[in-house]
Amino acid sequence: MPRIAGVDIPDRKAIRYALRYIHGIGPRFADQILAETGIDPTTKAQDLTDQQVSQINGVIDATYIVEGALRRQVAQNIQRLRDIRCYRGERHRRGLPVRGQRTRCNARTRKGKKKTVAGKKGVKG
């Protein structure tokens, strides 16, 4: 398994798709990296030479923020929003959707499992 940017990428996939296993590299960045290094996107990851792997590592290190550094940066950005007590920070604090989605129905991913509230059962009058 080639190790690129500190991540083991899958052997049998084309390098164009294997690069996407690195946090912070998507389809667009993967294609840009391969264009810059001059590597054929259909090449399998296991068929890369050591020189090609080091080229890819060099480009990623010089140009992109990936893996741990990116995760840290995102966490710091969210923490900053919480600290300045802005609307988005408050939504993060409460575990609610941040980008304007409705919460009356759906939003289960952010809100978590349903918390059933006892209703007015059998009240007449």
Q: What is the CATH number of domain 68-111?
A: 4.10.910.10
CA separation, residue 10 to residues 13, 42, 55, 74 (Å): 6, 14, 18, 26
pTM exceeds 0.85: no
Indicate where the chain has its CATH 1.10.8.50 domain(s): 3-63
Q: Distance between CA atoms of 57 and 51, rounded to whole angstroms?
A: 10
Predicted confidence at residue 118, as pLDDT, reads 81
Indicate where the chain has its CATH 4.10.910.10 domain(s): 68-111
Q: Distance between CA atoms of 97 and 67, rounded to whole angstroms?
A: 24
Predicted confidence at residue 3, as pLDDT, reads 87
> In a structure prediction context, what are the per-residue pLDDT tens digits for the chain, which is 125 residues long?
788 888 889 999 999 999 999 999 999 999 999 999 999 999 999 999 999 999 999 999 999 999 999 999 999 999 999 999 999 999 999 999 999 999 998 899 999 998 888 877 766 65
Q: What is the CATH number of domain 3-63?
A: 1.10.8.50
